[in-house]
Chain A
Amino acid sequence: MAKPFLIFVKQCPVCGDGLCRVRVCHDLQRGRLTGCILCDECETVWTDPTLKQKFLRGKVEGTPCCPDCGQSLWETNSHWADIPEVCLLGWYDSVQIVRKENRDQIV
């Protein structure tokens, strides 16, 4: 279902057009939630909202991967974070939250 908010850190410093958004991976085996920052355009992954450290080595080639479990961030156990998840990660103060009029544009 489309989410009514778009949560992002800033426009991507790598590609210039994407948004650095909070992506969460729910590792069901270990029962933990991992957050990272993912550009929705060029798919660069950073470990946290400071955008200081990129995560480059995943287990799936050609796809952005979770810094914790290494699996693809486009798989079903990953999704764009909602506000409670951003709070849980302690990143609420690092992100911008935009309420969208056109909900279809947020997936």
Chain B
Amino acid sequence: MARRTSNDPQAIANVLRLIPAKWLVGMLVAAVLYFFLQPKLNAWFGWNLPSIAAMAGNETPAKPASTKPAQPELASTKATEPKPAQPKAASTKPSGEPTKSTASSKTQQQDDLKYRILKPLGRDRYESPAGLIYAPGSEEGHRLSHIARHLEDQPDRPGSHGVFDGDMAAFLVAIDDAYKRARGHAKGTKSRLEDGMTIYEAPFDQTIGYLGGTEGARKKNPKLKKLRLVLRDRNLITAFPIQ
């Protein structure tokens, strides 16, 4: 007896003829809804729903953002050892910076992430792996644009201006690291409440930046190993290295 497989076009046609037309319309609507909602549900809730293409066997299911980038296949053990993307930066940066994945190992979900770690929540809001929210606001229009001011010195700015020594992706990783440790009251961290705002401070083992502004220039730009975060609930208002 010949076995009918679901991939047999004749068999599918026979089945379709047996299904009432309104069921078919309903199934079609469900499929279209799923097509549009699947990436959003994955982004919002961190689920791992397969795309329609994946279910049809044309694409591998999306992996959660936290999974490690795939190792190159069939390479020798030595060659597959992950190398730091920027050895110099890695020595001065907090651990946990995601390693650069190869183009072939990128999944759809990784493509959707802003600065490689921020999950879009819609309406220009983003959530970090530790749960911090980066939303529109501030003079610059968005919290991310605001904290970008701390990626470079403003030597003419009166007083001190903490400068993070790295790019935005590394800054976001350091902010998350500081947030997690300070929220967990880890050794050396501080937290205080100030009229609806929470101010966290966390030390780092290594230098994360330097003191800029006129005060920094006067002190010959000393290196900084602490990060201060200002939050309103889970919303990040600002973050910068401090003395």
Q: How many of chain B's residues have a CB under 8 angstroms from any CB in A?
A: 25
Q: How many of chain A's residues have a CB under 8 angstroms from any CB in B?
A: 26
Q: Is A98 an interface residue (CB 8 A)?
A: yes
Q: Is A87 an interface residue (CB 8 A)?
A: no
Q: A40-B139, A105-B154, A107-B139 are in contact. Are A17 and B237 (CB under 8 A)?
A: no
Instruction: List chain B residues, Cβ under 8 A from A74.
Output: 137-139
In the complex, are the beta carbons of B238 and A6 less than 8 A apart?
no
Q: A15-B230, A17-B242 are in contact. Are A63 and B137 (CB under 8 A)?
A: yes
Which among A11, A42, A44, A105 has the highest number of chain B CB atoms within 10 Å? Answer: A42
Instruction: List chain B residues, Cβ under 8 A from A98.
Output: 156, 158
Instruction: List chain A residues, Cβ under 8 A from B161.
Output: 17
In the complex, are the beta carbons of A15 and B156 less than 8 A apart?
no
- Chain B residues 21 to 61 lying within 8 A of chain A, measured CB to CB, are none
Instruction: List chain B residues, Cβ under 8 A from A100.
Output: 156
Instruction: List chain B residues, Cβ under 8 A from A54.
Output: 195
Q: Is B160 an interface residue (CB 8 A)?
A: yes
**Interface residues in chain B, defined as those with a beta carbon under 8 Å from any beta carbon in chain A:** 135, 137-139, 154, 156-162, 194-197, 199, 228, 230, 232, 235, 237-238, 240, 242
Question: Would you list the 7 A-B pairs with minimal beta carbon distance, nearest first?
Answer: A11-B159, A42-B230, A17-B240, A41-B238, A100-B156, A102-B156, A98-B158
